[in-house]
Chains A and B, each alone.
Chain A
Amino acid sequence: MSSSVPEDLKYTQTHEWVRFNGSKAVVGITDHAQHELTDIVFVEPPKTGKIFEAGNVAAVVESVKVASDIYAPVSGTVTSVNTELEKNPGLINSDPYGKGWIFELETTDTGENLLDAASYGKLV
């Protein structure tokens, strides 16, 4: 099964996606990742205001039998988290690139070290 890999996003080796919008970077997990994890039952988001280096564990996404760490793709400060996921963690499954976003960072990083859609597509 091929999973969707939108062109306008950046990706990590560990299956996070990033949408840059000025100095803001919205982060979620890819369609491939949600499919591998199966039904998401719980998300432990980072606290707003928390500062991460790229590669730090920022959140945890859980299915029934797997707990998966979500790494900050770029360095930055958490400016908001998707509180909808508290009630409805399944949004990550149904809309991984949209309503299933996990957190947003304020960052100066422009994501040059991240993968583009083509290279990520090859990875999965």
Chain B
Amino acid sequence: MHFTPHSESIIEEMLKTIGVLNFEELIRTVPSQVRCRENWDEPGLKESDVRKKYRNLAEENEPVTRIQSYLGGGVYEHFIPSVVNHLASRPEFVTSYTQYQPESNQGMLQGLFEYQTLLCRLTGMDVSNSSHYDGATSLAEAVLMALRNKPGKILYSKYLHPHYTEVLKTYLFNDRSCLFEVTPYEGTMTAEAFPKEEEISAVIVQSPNFLGIIEDMISLSEWAHARGAVLIAVVNPVSLGMLEAPGNLGADMVVGEGQPLGNSLSFGGPYFGFMCVKKEWMRKMPGRIVGQTADKAGRRGFVLTLQTREQHIRREKAVSNICSNEALCALRAAIYLAYLGETGFKNLSEECFEKAHLLQEKLSSIPGLVPVYNKPFFNEFAVRIKHKKIASVLSKLRRNQIAAGIRLNQFYHDHANDFLIAVTETKTAENLDYYYEIMKEVLA
């Protein structure tokens, strides 16, 4: 395949207009000593062959739709309605770029303004940007914001998503000494374990945390504010259909992974990170922001605004280096939220919660399997296998078409026999029964 439109004769004509004889002369400003010496004659594939190649590759995978998957860990299998796919795949959105000329991009600008509004309502915050790369990087940017405001320790739980912790360490390469990992008490963060004498910049609380447990955000935010520190909440947006908005629990910044809102699993991306803040952080927040204004005729319209924060204007003094974001994924989330609506979204949230609890109760009744912690959770929980080898238990379940969960030993030494189970609305009552029956058999 190729996508260059000119015939030989048109190429001749254009070269002549330019005043060169051939392509060789056209690129004569490229010195010969750096010119490619490799053989570049590999032809492209026919369209049908490309399809075949990638269909075969896709067949090498066992997607979660063909098995029963209870994998979560920050990324969740939710049903994506056809209408969401169709609208978010419109080429007018897909093949446009950043809204540098707002008059010709009102569609996306309004879509992102609506996204910002939806996310503010969901999180209970004042201001949202129009997306970041993913949950982990938006947390890292929030921490940098907090540190610029006030140097000090950054407190986070051992049960902050391990990838987020890793990314935080990468971003804070210059001075990791500010990072302070808190040892949780029975799975949750409590102020008793916090350092007493140190200056504190921010407390990060992920709720539900990596093990699915709901954290007590109010008491953590009170503790943080009493020390002049900020509370950064990391949340699963789907939980907010049911759980209190972090903005009402004292959070100063709310970030997280937006994937659960209508974005497919796609082996880790593209997803989007969201970032919402209280008003006083508006001019310190990274990422593009859409604002409302009026056109010459006084009609409502939308533009990118507060751009002096950004790299294309302030260069090395910018609040962040971010340029490309994940606008299309954010638009998709807005469409998904608008489609489900108030009632639908709350139903979704409650169904995930309830089904997870049903499964947890069933599994806990099996001898040889216990919950790791008995704390309130949302749609994910950790269990421990006693007396049997966890690897062989999980592979037996897998042979019965169940991806039973994520082993925790890859993240924690003290969770060698534990794994994490996530349940969403995609699992039926029959699926849950089947999981229970198979597990009972395997552990018998």
Contacts and interface: CB of A to CB of B under 8 A. Distances in A.
Interface of A: 42, 44, 62-67
B317 A67 contact: yes
Nearest to A60: B308
A67 B283 contact: no
Nearest to B317: A67
Interface in B300-350: 307-308, 313-314, 317
Nearest to A65: B313
A63 to B, nearest CB: 8
A21 B308 CA distance: 34
Interface residues of B, number: 6
Shortest beta-carbon contacts, A-B, top 7: A67-B308, A62-B308, A67-B314, A67-B313, A65-B313, A66-B313, A65-B307
| Secondary structure type dominating chain B contacts | helix
Interface in B242-283: 283
Contacts of B308: 42, 62-67
Contacts of B314: 67
Contacts of A44: 283
Nearest to B310: A67
Contacts of A63: 308
A65 to B, nearest CB: 6
Most buried by A among B283, B307, B308, B317: B308
B283 A64 contact: no
A42 B314 CA distance: 14
A10 B290 CA distance: 41
16 contacts: A42-B283, A42-B308, A44-B283, A62-B308, A63-B308, A64-B307, A64-B308, A65-B307, A65-B308, A65-B313, A66-B308, A66-B313, A67-B308, A67-B313, A67-B314, A67-B317
A67 B283 CA distance: 12
A44 B308 CA distance: 12
Nearest to A63: B308
Nearest to A41: B308
Interface in B87-138: none
B415 to A, nearest CB: 48
A67 B308 CA distance: 6
Contacts of A64: 307-308
Contacts of B283: 42, 44
Given A64-B307, A65-B307, 14 more contacts: A42-B283, A42-B308, A44-B283, A62-B308, A63-B308, A64-B308, A65-B308, A65-B313, A66-B308, A66-B313, A67-B308, A67-B313, A67-B314, A67-B317
B73 to A, nearest CB: 40
Contacts of B307: 64-65
B320 to A, nearest CB: 14
B301 to A, nearest CB: 15
B390 to A, nearest CB: 55
A88 B40 CA distance: 61
Interface in B156-185: none
